[in-house]
Structure 1
Amino acid sequence: MTYEDKLVGTAGKIKNFFDRFPKIYNVYFICSISTISGMMFGVDISSMSAFIGTTQYRDYFHAPNSDMQGFITSAMALGSFFGSLACSFVSEPLGRRISLFLCSFFWMVGAAIQSSSQNVAQLIIGRFISGFGVGFGSTVAPVYGSELAPRKIRGFIGGLFQFSVTLGILVMFYVCYGLHFINGVGSFRIAWGLQIVVGLFLFFGVFILPESPRWLAKHDYWDEAEEVVAKIQAHGDKSNEDVMIEVSEIKEQLLIDEAAKSVTYLTLFNKKYWVRTVTAMFAQIWQQLTGMNVMMYYIVYIFQMAGYTGNSNLVASSIQYVLNTGMTVVALFLLDRVGRRPVLLTGAVLMMIFQFAVAGILATYSKPVDSVDGDTTIKIMIPAANKAAARGVIAMCYLFVCSFATTWGVGIWLYCSEIWGENSIRQRGAALSTAANWIFNFAIGMYTPSSFKTITWKTYCIYATFCACMFIHVLFFFPETRGKRLEEIAQMWDEKVPAWKSNHWTPSIPIVNDDMLERKTEIKHLENESSGNSAEEIAEKA
């Protein structure tokens, strides 16, 4: 038995195991469960940012310096980088659900290690393992949602991932705020232990989720794929027009996929795919270079520069998290009405303005200090007498967060889940672009404490400049995907439609009957005989 045959057998056993349990086909409920992986990321942000400035945390872990704190914080992102790359090797052959299952497993193991940490090394290991799980979830959940959602609401469904992130940040921050009053190590141990509860919701929720119809079709479970599409889009009516068109397009794309050679990460950089690969990777990279995670992970440091310390710092920070969650809800309804490009372009401009504003206020009104509350990472601070300037910094931070939440926060996870178009590369492509997000997340987490210490307010100028660069990139190279089926997006790439014309581009609707699927055997035979030919040549012979 070959390795491929073993994978097929394993995939069938895993599928049958999950299929034993009753299923729910409401797309909103389905994606609320799958995007719990996003909530894990949010929970992690709050569980770290709420404690890095507390006496309990600093005393127990011997007051980590800026470099060490940067590595502790970014260990989760490093684990997520490797988890993202590993995800496609599980999700493609074995299914989307098993990847979500592994996400919850690694998350809970990592949370248990963190909550029992005896030293910095154990804390880093726990965060790395939890991050490995988040890498699985953050890669597969947006793809899974885009493959299930009807095109008319795909923006809303895709945005649920980011909403889950912001909700996790908000809820966990208030939990941590209450726990920080505990005078001892129990404050952060309980908070990190409670992360297991989030993992349990996903762990048990996976059993009531249907498999992705596009994964089912690709693995020859055609009847079940059609059934899933019908139940989600038309309450089981297979004769519904939208269902018939969706199934027809899946069939056509499957024929194209079968004519091509097996997909590897190198395939993403060939002549046909490299433009969309670069677009998706930079979409995720730019999201990190907005500076949003600086605002999330190190909000305590930022408000210390503005003169807020102790309990007042945490209260001010919590307002930012409330705004982040509330404005994300607004964005869920915005993407399907306005489109992806206008939202991303507007967000880049607004974030640039507010980052420069923060830098300008700090440069003008802050004074050098040796430390704040014993923390030597902070080297500047607005004097208490200048309350107007301090409030100005806080206001600009709040406005920045609102701008991010309504644009790049929601938009990028959705955009990168749908931009690939084709079945054959979607999961591998999503894994690569998500990995790009996490490796930059790791770098920024490492760099930020040191940048606050060495270049202080100039840190914000760097991120503002990146926002200007991303505006130019989106304007000329990011096509509009609103209202298009995934297979139509693939057609748009193939026709090389300019990004600024993509909103008005009209695709042709393929009509594929079931008889054409019988040609898959012939295509596979041609592929074996023509191993040296390109995918296009094989498809032409077929």
Structure 2
Amino acid sequence: MGIESSLVGPALRFRLLLDKFPNITNIYVIASIACTAGLMFGFDISSMSAFIGTDQYQEFFDHPSSDIQGFITASMSLGSFFGSIASTFISEPFGRRASLLTCAFFWMAGAAIQSSVQDRAQLIIGRLISGIGIGFGSSVAPVYGSELSPRKIRGLIGGIFQFSVTLGIMVMFYISYGCSKINGLGSFRVAWGIQIIPGLILFIGTFFVPESPRWLAKHGYWEDAEKIVADVQAHGNREDPDVLIEISEIKEQILVDEHVRDFTYADLFKKKYLPRTITAVSAQIWQQLTGMNVMMYYIVYVFKMAGYQGDQVLTSSSIQYVLNTVITIPALYLLDKVGRRPVLLAGAAAMFTFQFAVAGLLATYSDPIPVDQRTDSTVTITIPDEHKPAARAVIACCYLFVCSFAPSWGVTIWLYCSEIWGDSASRQRGAALATAGNWIFNFAIAMFTPPAFENIAWKTYCIYGSFCAAMFVHVFFFFPETKGKRLEEIGQMWDEKVPAWRSASWQPTVPILSDAELASKMKYEHKENESELMKSDENSVDEKNQQTV
């Protein structure tokens, strides 16, 4: 409380500075700018996968062992872990836009360090610094989108973040693929330098997006909050039914959670919030344990196991990145039509199938590579030429795995973890903690996978397949449905301990007014409040006149 109080002055001056710039009011443009942080996340993933198998990279970094390569790749995730934890100390007192600016700054600084790399240590430091920026962006951007978007399209707006990630993976892969044809150090330095561009876009764009109305309301700026909701949802019409409903929802949350200013990370583990915390954190952790990042960071190794070499690997990888992006698009529609639970359950079942299919094919048809013939210490098995149909089947299963992940656990989790909390008090810190869980497991998996490929080869896929089976069970019994529910309804659902498998059909026991009834009620109260405000102003003038006399 004392720290936040001491920051009130600087926070106000910072907000007034940003408010001097004109605000964009189109929610899709706003979400696209904020989700440039997701584009950076995608850039990071494929900026390594396209180079780790090239001669230029291997020679310059002295052929890093599987352990060293794992740490180089994972250093970004380690930085992101610390960035996501630290994000609330910026976004709570200074606003969501401040965290987006911080994200852009660290990302650009890290990209500049990477592009001038001289050795392994500098590359790791650059990736750590860029990771801090990604940690800020991945924690704040989904929350910012859910707080600004109308609830009817909250799934679509929330899904833009993951779409940005997949788009970034694809774009950066093709940039890196082209740069890999450059002889010498320019092959990776140019590609890593290009990463500065999305950071610059986010930095400039943040000056032109509005602050989160829920953040403004929490800090007492009700007039500004109402104006932003009206501008974004109804072209400035404060009497619009959707605007009145949204304002009522914000007031409901703020007035009920009077302790909002005192909420800390420790509160997330109290009895009221512990089930939400476990669900959100485990959702982010399960996303990593699907094994998707194995297919993204280390796709070169996967395809080498299938017997592909050279340009064959990069061409096959590019098809996977295109599929990842394209398949994400229909998921933006599914989230608001089908719901969160069915999508997550179907995705877990499909990924379980394809992980074990890859493991079975490699176990049956691959042969060990003699030590003296290994061009990469990480890849110890390969499918020989006489079993090319099996090799193509492995690639097909990898593609189908990606097509299962992208529209389910890829796009859904970021939205789910931003809305599952149900109130303003816990949302930002809860989302930050859940995102930190994502990043620390991202780090662990990036470290684990190269040694796992080297030592247990195809059995690595059995581990990830087992995780997919476990997450199916967890979702069925413990993940409630949030589709179409107001944020305060989600909080009420938690309070009533509604079983997850009944949550889709659940209706609040304390009836919440219909949209039409609520809009009518709020319109009346809005007029009444304006009348009371005018009377208050008149009384204030009379008191000042009496004091003057």
The normalised TM-score by structure 2 is 0.92
Give, in angstroms, the shift of residue 2 of structure 1. 5.8
Aligned-partner Cα distance in 1 for 2:178–2:320: 17
Paired with 1:2 and 1:92, the residues of 2 have a C-alpha distance of 13
1:9 offset after TM fit, Å?
A: 1.1
Provide the C-alpha distance between the structure 2 equivalents of 1:202 and 1:261, rounded to a whole number of angstroms: 28
Aligned twin of 1:107: 107
Preserved contact between residue 230 and residue 237 of structure 2 (Cα < 8 Å): yes
**Deviation readout 1:395-425 (Å, 9 max, x if unpaired):** 0000000000010000000100110111011
Change (3 A) 1:2 1:329: closer
Question: Offset at 1:232?
Answer: 1.3
Larger Rg: 2
What's the CA shift string for 1:91-117, capped at 9, x where partnerless?
111100000000000000000111111
Cα contact 1:102–1:136 (8 A) shared by 2:
yes
Q: Following the alignment from structure 2 to structure 1, what is the Cα–Cα distance between the partners of residues 63 and 306?
A: 22
Looking at structure 2, the residues matched to 196 and 227 of structure 1 have their Cα atoms a distance apart, in angstroms, of 34
Deviation at 1:242, TM superposition (A): 1.7
Separation of aligned partners in 1, 2:253 and 2:98: 24
| Deviations 1:195-219 (CA, angstroms, capped at 9, x unpaired) | 0011101010001100000001001
**Residues of 1 paired with 2:249 and 2:387: CA distance?**
62
Matched, 1:61 2:61: yes
Aligned position for 2:255: 255
User: Which residue matches 2:318?
Assistant: 318
After superposition, the CA RMSD in angstroms is: 1.6
Partner SS, residue 22 of structure 1 = coil
Once residues 501 and 13 of structure 1 are traced to their aligned partners in structure 2, the CA distance between those partners, rounded to angstroms, is 47
User: Aligned runs of 1:93-242 on 2, under 5 Å?
Assistant: 93-242=93-242
Residue deviations 1:402-456 (CA, integer Å, cap 9, x gap): 0000100000001001101110110000000000000000000000000000000
Whole-angstrom CA distance in 1 between matches of 2:505 and 2:453: 45
**Letter of the aligned partner of 1:128 in structure 2?**
L
Q: Structure 2: which amino acid aligns with 1:300?
A: V
In the aligned structure 1, how far is the partner of 2:257 from the partner of 2:194? 44
Could you state the TM-score of these two structures normalised by the residue count of structure 1? 0.93
1:509 to 508, 512, 519: 512
Per-residue CA deviation, residues 156-205 of structure 1 (Å, 9 max, x unaligned), is 11000000000000011011111111111100000000000111010100
Contact 1:96 1:140 in 2 (8 A): yes
What is the percentage of aligned positions where both structures have the same residue?
67
How far did residue 490 of structure 1 move? 1.2
Deviation at 1:3, TM superposition (A): 4.0
Q: Provide the aligned length of Structure 1 versus Structure 2.
A: 517
Q: 1:516: Cα distance to partner?
A: 10
Matches within 5 A, 1:444-455: 444-455=445-456
Deviation at 1:365, TM superposition (A): 0.1
Distance 1:497 1:516 in 2: 36
Provide closer, same or farther for how the CA distance between residues 516 and 135 of structure 1 changes in structure 2, counting only shifts above 3 A: farther
Work out whether 1:410 is the aligned partner of 2:405: no
In 2, the alpha carbon distance for the partners of 1:319 and 1:4 equals 49
Query: What's 1:482 paired with?
Result: 483
Answer yes or no: is the 8 Å Cα contact 2:259–2:425 preserved in 1: no
1:160 aligned partner, one-letter code: I
Take 1:413 and 1:444, find their aligned partners in 2: how far apart are those partners? 19
Partner of 1:385: helix, strand, or coil? helix
Whether the 8 Å contact between 1:370 and 1:378 is mirrored in structure 2 is: no
1:391 is aligned to 392
Structure 1 position 382 matched with structure 2 position 383: yes
2:92 corresponding residue in structure 1: 92
Q: Distance in 2 between matches of 1:137 and 1:360?
A: 38
Deviation per residue, 1:285-332 (Å, 9 max, x gap): 000000000000000000000011111110000000000000001111
Counterpart of 2:467 in structure 1: which amino acid?
F
Mapped to 1, the partners of 2:159 and 2:395 lie a distance apart of 27
Moved more, 428-437 or 497-506: 497-506
Structure 1: gaps of 5 or more residues? 518-542
Is the Cα–Cα contact under 8 Å of residues 96 and 140 in structure 2 kept in the other structure? yes
Q: What one-letter code is carried by the residue in structure 1 that aligns with 2:384? A: P
Question: Is 1:166–1:325's contact at 8 Å kept on the other side of the alignment?
Answer: yes
| Structure 1 residues 26 and 373, CA gap change in structure 2 (3 angstroms) | farther
Cα 1:47–1:505 change in 2 (3 A) is same
* Alpha-carbon spacing, 1:23–1:373, altered in 2? closer, same or farther (3 Å): farther
Q: Deviations for 1:74-131, whole angstroms, at most 9, x for unmatched residues?
A: 0000000000000011111110000000000000000011111111001000000000
Matches of 2:260 and 2:345, distance apart in 1 = 35
For residue 5 of structure 1, report the CA deviation from its aligned partner: 3.2
C-alpha displacement at 1:370, in angstroms?
Answer: 3.4
Q: Give the C-alpha shift of residue 506 in structure 1.
A: 2.2
Aligned position for 1:81: 81
- Alpha-carbon shift at residue 239 of structure 1 (Å): 1.3
Is the Cα–Cα contact under 8 Å of residues 260 and 424 in structure 2 kept in the other structure?
Answer: no
Q: In structure 2, give the amino acid aligned to 1:68.
A: I
Q: CA deviation at 1:489?
A: 1.2
How far is 1:505 from its partner?
1.6
CA distance in structure 2 between the aligned counterparts of 1:415 and 1:71, rounded to whole angstroms: 30
> Alpha-carbon deviation of 1:6?
2.5
Instruction: Give the 3 Å change call, closer, same or farther, for CA 4–83 of structure 1 in structure 2.
Output: closer
State the distance in 2 between where 1:58 and 1:338 align. Answer: 46
Contact 1:370 1:376 survives alignment (8 Å): no
Name whichever of 43-52 and 261-270 sits farther off: 261-270
In the aligned structure 1, how far is the partner of 2:257 from the partner of 2:236? 27
* Alpha-carbon separation, structure 1, partners of 2:506 and 2:487: 14
- Deviation string 1:206-246 (CA, Å, 9 cap, x unpaired) is 01100000001001110110111111111211111121111
Query: Which residue of the partner structure matches residue 541 of structure 2?
Result: none
Mapping of residues 462-481 of structure 1, within 5 Å: 462-481=463-482
- Equivalents in 1 of 2:468, 2:98: separation in Å? 37
Q: Is the 8 A contact 2:50 2:176 kept in 1?
A: yes
Matches of 2:260 and 2:376, distance apart in 1: 57
